[in-house]
Chains A and B, each alone.
Chain A
Amino acid sequence: MNTTVVGKNLRKVDGFKLVTGGAAFTDDVLLPGMLYGKILPSPYAHARIKRIDTSKAKALPGVHAVLTYKDVPRVPHTTAGQAWPEPSPYDTYLLDSKVRFVGDRVAAVAAESRALAEQALRLIDVDYEVLPAVLDMEAAMDAGAPVIHDEPDSTKIFDREHNIAAHIRREIGNVDDGFREADFIFEREYRTQRQQHCMLEPHVTICWLDGDGRLMIRTSTQVPYHCRRQVAMILQIPVSRVRVIKPRIGGGFGGKQEMLLEDICSALALATRRPVKIEYTREEEFYMARSRHPQILRMKMGVKRDGTVVASHLQVLATTGAYGSHASTVQGNTGSKVLPLYRAPHLRFECDVVYTNTPVAGAFRGYGCPQGFFAQESLADEIAYKLGMDPVEFHRKNAIRLGDVDKLSAQLGEGKEGLPRVIRSCGLPECVKRGAAAIDWDRKRQSLPARAGFVKHGVGMSCTMQGSGIAGIDWAASFLKMNEDGSFFLQVGASDVGAGADTVLAQIAAETLGVSLGKIIVTSGDTDFTPFDTGAYASSTTIISGGAVKKAAEKVRAQVLGVAAKMLAVPVENLACAKDEVFTTTKPRKSVSMAEVALQALYQEKLQIMDGASHYNTDSPPPFCATFAEVAVDTQTGRVRVVHLATAVDPGVAINPMQAEGQVEGAVTQGLGFALSEELMLNHTGWPMNPNFLDYKIFSAKDMPKLTTILVETEEPLGPYGAKSVSEVPINGVAPAIANAIFHAVGVRIRKLPIRPEDMLRALYEQQPELKPEEALVTQ
């Protein structure tokens, strides 16, 4: 494609501010008279508040408000930041007389300092009636299990008596027939864990009332518009009385696709009529924010002798924790984005999402796919091995390809029927080819297992996909206006969470308008000043918000050309714009600068060049990814070290390749943690045992293996300048690629994440007894 701004490695539009420590983030302002808010977390996994006495806390000098369930409106809602009407159950209350997990809200205070707020919390006197709790998702549906949502006013819960938040069953073709056609049937169980986002900037919100008494919410969110709607509903004030301001965000990864602190912080600001800030500590972030849904997956696949997949059946049991945020939709994705990777005519997905008295799960990069692909890609590798096929060949034979129609997506949309997916661009075969070359697949598959020594090496691979926006639901608007110097203000509702949306959207605008990137000034995510956008999630921003920007820019370009046509006295058809000027495409060459056009429009024609546009798609084009891993397994200790990770991604056209590569590297970093080390653990009473970075291991720069990142660009007809998405898909394939590489190295299948050294060693000694300790002790 012949472009000058799109596809170029241009620096982030806000990069200078960030690297020089300029005021960028929610917490970078200090408002006069600001109070510190703090939430009293429940010490019990399940309890009723029999009596709560806040008088001592209120009497403490410097404390301005103490709120309990008695002081706030009771409005059932979901905290999931989703388009209205949210498919998640309305099972959550601003504050409630019942607590449902360790960390659930009991009360909230606002005081003049953090220390005072903490002291006030200790002065709140609570009598709890401790209720039996259910922590184990496999016991949640049992008869006699404690009912977590016994309140009558919650709605949209699938089966509250059995703690089932959501239930899904979808089928295309006839899976039973499919299995009858198969020559071999494989079935395995996989387990995945509770992973936390660990974004650098914790959840933080500052709320105040402006001079007109309107509620201002400056907050670290991926979903400013959903947040505004939800807060207005919960506090029962008109939407017009609320403004949500999204400053620069220090990472979200889905954890901020959630209205999490904005409601309670607003309630405190309204109660005190002073600015109030709530910022989670790292510890609170671990168990009072959100995490990835733990799942137990039963994956069954039927194949022909030649390796053709004819039927797949995936049964999932997942827990959403104490509240059903994103319960049906995350799990829906586990089926709809995973099973159609293979072209089998018969697919069935069944799922129960249960409540337990555990921290609440929610949206998290990959959104159900990392769990599903761990199961599917592990089983695919096992099948290929049993059939004597190279996994690369197995994928070549079975993977979805250009022109295919994914019918499962039509059945399984965002909590309701969706739309069929047509594959209009597909770089997967090329991803597999280039990923394999990067890891030296053909040679290493042969040579590695033969190596001597107690550290065994192996290589494994996986293929994955995702979506780009939610078809028929996600939409965005943008607005552009021209200034005297030929620059443009670009206003978008989109939320740059750190992934670089502001830059990418500005590049799309600049390309379309024929100006340099510096001529686009972006304002994003302010509900008073930017048009609507569903938010930064579902890999939607580049394709959906970018689509809106391109449309608006095309309209504005037409206005620019209209003014220029008069100035140059040539027909509009003979004009084009590039390099900050409008010029004739016919001889003789004549041109005017953008600044001259702007001055002419503003001062002669009395015309503000400006326009806006809205955009949505009825399809969600998948980005594709092939992940290749080389691992070294220490057979004496069970430690798995990833030596090399090669990730080849088809993002459509990369609007900014440097940023796209950064997204791939960030995704695989979290994928490594998911595969090998990250798990928020609870004890038998539901207390978090490792809510800190001394116990909970995330991969950091010094832990990283050699990374190879390959962008395999394709041109997606539905995307602006051919773009799809990139930020989620690379997280999906890391765990299965590693598990498959482990099998290649030592012949052991690990089906539970994370792959802890101790578990690895136990499995190794069980399945490969000749490696037992006596022998293991001899060093080389």
Chain B
Amino acid sequence: MIPQNFEYSAPATLQEALQLISGGECKVMAGGMSLIPLMKLRLAAPEHVVDLGRVPGLNSISESGGVVCIGATATHHDIESSPVIRGRVPLLAEAASHIGDVQVRNRGTLGGSIAHADPAADYPASLLALEAKVRLVSANSDRTVEAADFFLDPFTTAVESGEIVLEVLVPIEEPREGYRYEKVPHPASGFAVVGVAARIKKAGGKTTLARIGVTGTGPRAFRALAAEKLLESGADVATAAAAVAEGQETNADLYASAEYRRHLTRVWAARALTLALSRAS
């Protein structure tokens, strides 16, 4: 279908963009890969769309002080192919490569994906496992929140009216770390029915650090803290994986019931952890 009529602005500076949206009437657009389908399906009918695509520098990727800083409009393709990200936070590059298809990865952005907060989106699992932070700015505020406090509910985040995601800050992974993102793609949409991001550090044959982020399983992405603890206290992969969805609310849809989703989460956690362990040295 064709969207309803709307105003369109493409501000050339961040300041201008923040001014435009400060009234709260406008909808920000980045890659448009989620917003435009919503408008076509008439699930969204904004009167004014503010395109962040022309704001210079908003897509930059850089590293300093042990943190990789990714601008909100960096595309999925930028992220999967950036030497900085591939070298320093390869888990995120791996997650980006699982998103949609080439066209979607060329247009869709990190900021747009996390602000949209689809419970089946790929990034949240990795961002949680990487203990990333999100910087939010408005015309008169600037704050940074933990990824764990950013994803609140389906399609609901910590972003307030008048705010945008400016950048995502990711602490670098150690080179000896093992990592893996594993996903059950929905056969039709390609989104994550379940997605598990795992990071493992080993020392003397023992797991010293485990981080597991899970997306798709519940209404919001979560960290599997119980499973992490089990691994860090010497449990094997099967035992840890069995605990991965413990205490979490589970989604159900036409493709997978809650019970089946929990089962898939355990299986996929085991697969991701096994691979992450084999990559750790």
Contact = CB atoms under 8 A, between A and B. Distances in A.
Contact of A697 (B1, B187, B271): B187
B4 A115 contact: yes
Contacts of B254: 681, 689-690, 695
A373 B222 CA distance: 46
Nearest to B275: A779
Contacts of A3: none
A761 B189 contact: no
Given A637-B264, A758-B256, A777 B187 contact: no
Interface in B225-271: 237-238, 241-242, 254-257, 260, 263-264, 266-267, 270-271
A681 B254 CA distance: 8
Contact of B266 (A677, A681, A696, A777): A777
B203 interface: no
A758 B267 CA distance: 13
B266 to A, nearest CB: 6
A694 B188 contact: yes
Interface in A316-362: none
A773 B188 contact: no
B267 A637 contact: yes
Contact of B263 (A281, A677, A697, A773): A773
A298 interface: no
Interface in A113-160: 114-115
Interface string A670-698: 00000001000100000001100111110
B104 interface: no
A776 B241 CA distance: 12
Given A681-B254, A696-B188, A777 B264 contact: no
Interface residues of A, number: 25
Q: Tell me what chain A mostly uses at the interface: helix, strand, loop, or mixed.
A: loop
A694 B185 CA distance: 12
A757 B260 CA distance: 9
A725 interface: no
A689 B254 CA distance: 8
Given A695-B188, A761-B260, A776 B4 contact: no
Interface in B1-25: 1-2, 4
Contacts of B270: 777-779
Contacts of B188: 677, 693-697
A637 to B, nearest CB: 6
Given A637-B184, A777-B241, A779-B274, A695 B267 contact: no
A281 B267 contact: no
Contact of A777 (B255, B257, B267): B267
Nearest to A681: B254
A216 B266 CA distance: 61
Nearest to A281: B1
Contacts of A230: none
Contacts of A689: 254
Contacts of B237: 777, 779
Nearest to B256: A758
B189 A773 contact: no
Interface in B139-196: 184, 187-189
A758 to B, nearest CB: 4
A777 B242 contact: yes
A766 B220 CA distance: 32
B226 to A, nearest CB: 16
A636 interface: yes
Contact of B189 (A677, A681, A694, A756): A694
> Most B CB atoms within 10 A — which of A114, A695, A696?
A695
Interface in A70-124: 114-115
A771 to B, nearest CB: 12
Interface string A248-283: 000000000000000000000000000000000100
B103 to A, nearest CB: 13
B239 to A, nearest CB: 9
Contacts of A696: 188
Nearest to B2: A114
Nearest to B266: A777
A214 to B, nearest CB: 33
B238 A758 contact: no
Contacts of A761: 260, 263
A778 B238 contact: yes
A762 to B, nearest CB: 8
A773 B1 CA distance: 44
Contacts of A756: 255
> Most A CB atoms within 10 A — which of B184, B256, B264, B266?
B264
Contacts of A776: 267
Interface of A: 114-115, 281, 636-637, 677, 681, 689-690, 693-697, 703, 756-758, 761, 773-774, 776-779
Given A114-B2, A761-B260, 8 more contacts: A637-B184, A637-B267, A694-B188, A695-B188, A695-B254, A758-B260, A777-B266, A778-B270
26 contacts: A114-B2, A636-B267, A637-B184, A677-B187, A677-B188, A693-B188, A694-B189, A695-B189, A695-B254, A696-B188, A697-B187, A697-B188, A703-B187, A757-B256, A757-B260, A758-B256, A758-B257, A761-B263, A773-B263, A776-B267, A777-B237, A777-B238, A777-B241, A778-B238, A779-B237, A779-B271
Those 3 A-B pairs whose CB atoms lie nearest each other, nearest first: A697-B188, A694-B189, A697-B187
